[in-house]
Structure 1
Amino acid sequence: MEPTASKNISFVSHSDMGGRADGVQIMVHRGYAYVGHGFSNGISVIDVRDPRKPRPVNFIACPPGTRALHLQTHGDLLLAVNAPSVWTMQEFQQDEKTYFGASPADSLKRQAGKFTSGLRVYDISSPEQPREIGFMPVHGIGPHRLWYVGGRYAYASIHFADFTDHVFSVIDLKDPTRPEVVGRWWLPGMWSGGGEAPTWPKGKRYALHHALVAGDLAFGAWRDGGLTILDIKDPTQPKLLAHRNTDPPFGGMTHSPLPLPDRNLLIVGDEATAPNCSEGLRYIWVCDIREPSNPVTIATMPQPQEADYCAKGGNFGSHNLHENRPGAFQSSRLVFATYYNAGVRVFDIENPFRPQEVGYYVPPNPTRMMDPRPNRPQVIQCCDCYVDREGFMYLTDPNAGLNILHYDGPLV
């Protein structure tokens, strides 16, 4: 499969994942890829023990109207969200701003009973046959994204019915068959059930996309609400250390945090949510967090230059970052980022004040569309990237299936 542009990354193989070519978050664990879908409403299991010959082996369907787009693996556990399959619902098909520009909670009240909200826990000791062992129902839209790398606690963005949108939540997995929320934190104005009123402008969405945890600190990305750093030494009582927001003057949609604690750095990606750069460019920021109560922005990653991606169609800009998970390729120097219609990019931050782009791969456009929304451009929209210890890159897309690549530069 010939790329439209590439540098230091080579093609290895491709899979349409058994005809379900829409992929969002991907975990590669013990030789198997677990892929959450955006439209197919379930989880695919792909045998990638030989990355050159990926083989779909299972599909776990969600309840009706429900998707499991985000998931996490560690040890013998797979955690997956259950949330409304928003892109198949009439409320959101015509205008994405009804999703990105405000809380979708009010619109989804009209869909009550048509989807399932909660957290599912699977036993994956038999990797090809995940077995459900626990379910935590949530009254509300439910969870959006998770962080779990073992231990007692998982961390999630969850919408509860008495909040305006997703908030930071700590889930106790002492008994994985009975997960329960034991801690929460939110931006002021989000607890509508407690009488709080929104403090943000109309047309903005303050909601936790997700948080990553390093030590006793949780780094949260709150869409138009910016970045928070929380002290979670006591997981039941998170405490705010810092809150920063680049919107205004920049465009908001803070999406992906990546702490690099050994270097006292934090990478923060803002999501591009509008086509053709119509709402301006989005950036990946480098922050100095030597003093967690005062994060300081020191650089941005360079923007792709080999083509005019704003004119290509679809979204152009940052989406997800490879997360340095246990068992994966881990680096405090190389940052892997999906960039929607500009594929996947690799940045070297040996000098954090002057990041350099050292690799990229832009797959060809999809041959068919999985996206049910009308008038979507048939262009690549690379979504998530998992990098293993050997430099194999597992790249998802909402329409183009799973591309397995290899980073050919030095793994430093």
Structure 2
Amino acid sequence: MSLHGPPYVIGDLAYLPYGAAGLVVLDISDVTEPKPVGGLNFSPPFHSRFGVHGVLPIPDRKIAFANSEDVSYGKGAAPHASIVDISDPANPWLLSLLPTPEPPPGAPYEDFSGRGGWSGPHNINHHQHHPDVQKQNDLFYVAHFNAGLRIYDVSNTRLPREVGYFVPPDPVRRYGPMPEGELVAQTEDVVVDTRGNIYVSDKNQGIYILRYTGRGKG
């Protein structure tokens, strides 16, 4: 169990993605002596080592987004990208799961766990209180390793739906040791600026700059 993605401080509360320990909420009114307030464990049933890799609380909507990181090459328990109710920080509970990405038509694999490389969500559009990063609204962006960038409409937190994606071509040159084995696209991180530009990084082929047109999947 270990703190993995960035913690978020909202007032006197800190929301932490604590790996196999799940989502942890601390009272930091006295930063020299933080106290546990509540939490939500995702492991089991989901992937355990990084059961919660990232968390993004949206206090105005009384929700948080949370996701795991699966490093099992699709051979372990399922990963997740979730929406959590944090109206009572002492008792967070699961609202919904974001849909699992589906391969594009004609893909030579039935699902992304069989594509090669790591699969499942990795990072989200963390604003980190930065004025030039788009704040969370009805669109939610997830870097989904070998499934590329996935965009979700989360206006209905009980029924999130995928509304767009971008799967980059597989790299033709290796610049680092990951992924082990077959060289496939591995979308690592995503950040969206206030102009609507989407920046996604890949382990072996740098950064793509995109825009979402609102035309649905494609």
For the aligned pair, the TM-score class normalised by the smaller chain equals 0.7 to 0.9
Partner of 1:240: 36
Structure 2 vs 1, CA of residues 339 and 373 (structure 1 numbering), >3 Å: closer, same or farther?
A: closer
Structure 2 counterparts to residues 209-288 of structure 1, below 5 A: 209-210=4-5, 211-252=7-48, 253=50, 254-275=52-73, 277-288=74-85
Structure 2 vs 1, CA of residues 291 and 355 (structure 1 numbering), >3 Å: closer, same or farther?
A: same
- Deviation of 1:216 after TM superposition, in Å, equals 2.1
Partner of 1:385: 190
- Deviation of 1:375 after TM superposition, in Å, equals 4.4
TM-score normalized by structure 1? 0.48
**1:269-324 CA distances to partner (integer Å, 9 max, x unpaired)?**
0111111x210320111111000000010100001123421221011100001013
Query: What's the C-alpha RMSD, in Å, of the aligned pairs?
Result: 1.6
Is this contact kept in 2: 1:312–1:341, CA < 8 A?
A: yes
Is this contact kept in 2: 1:345–1:357, CA < 8 A?
A: yes
Q: Give SS of 2:71's match.
A: coil
Q: Between Structure 1 and Structure 2, whose CA radius of gyration is higher?
A: 1
Is this contact kept in 2: 1:391–1:408, CA < 8 A?
A: no
- State the one-letter code of the partner of 2:120: G
Partner of 2:141: 336
Give yes or no for the alignment of 1:306 onto 2:103: yes
TM-score normalized by structure 2? 0.88
Unaligned runs of 5+ residues in structure 1 are 1-205
Structure 2 counterparts to residues 103-118 of structure 1, below 5 A: none
Give yes or no for the alignment of 1:297 onto 2:102: no
- State the one-letter code of the partner of 1:330: K
- Deviation of 1:385 after TM superposition, in Å, equals 0.6
Q: Distance in 1 between matches of 2:17 and 2:60?
A: 21
Q: Distance in 1 between matches of 2:24 and 2:40?
A: 6
Unaligned runs of 5+ residues in structure 2 are 105-110
Q: Give SS of 2:113's match.
A: helix
Is this contact kept in 1: 2:55–2:66, CA < 8 A?
A: yes
Is this contact kept in 2: 1:209–1:223, CA < 8 A?
A: yes
**1:73-128 CA distances to partner (integer Å, 9 max, x unpaired)?**
xxxxxxxxxxxxxxxxxxxxxxxxxxxxxxxxxxxxxxxxxxxxxxxxxxxxxxxx
Q: Distance in 1 between matches of 2:152 and 2:44?
A: 26
- State the one-letter code of the partner of 1:370: Y
Q: Distance in 2 between matches of 1:250 and 1:223?
A: 11
Give yes or no for the alignment of 1:207 onto 2:10: no
Q: Distance in 2 between matches of 1:314 and 1:250?
A: 19
Partner of 1:405: 210
Aligned residues with identical type, % of pairs: 36
1:369 pairs with one of 160, 164, 174? 174
Number of aligned residue pairs: 204
Q: Give SS of 1:319's match.
A: strand
Structure 2 vs 1, CA of residues 374 and 243 (structure 1 numbering), >3 Å: closer, same or farther?
A: closer
Q: Give SS of 2:4's match.
A: strand
Q: Give SS of 1:318's match.
A: strand
Structure 2 vs 1, CA of residues 374 and 350 (structure 1 numbering), >3 Å: closer, same or farther?
A: closer
Q: Distance in 1 between matches of 2:98 and 2:164?
A: 13
Structure 2 vs 1, CA of residues 374 and 359 (structure 1 numbering), >3 Å: closer, same or farther?
A: closer
Q: Distance in 2 between matches of 1:370 and 1:212?
A: 32
Q: Distance in 2 between matches of 1:373 and 1:305?
A: 23
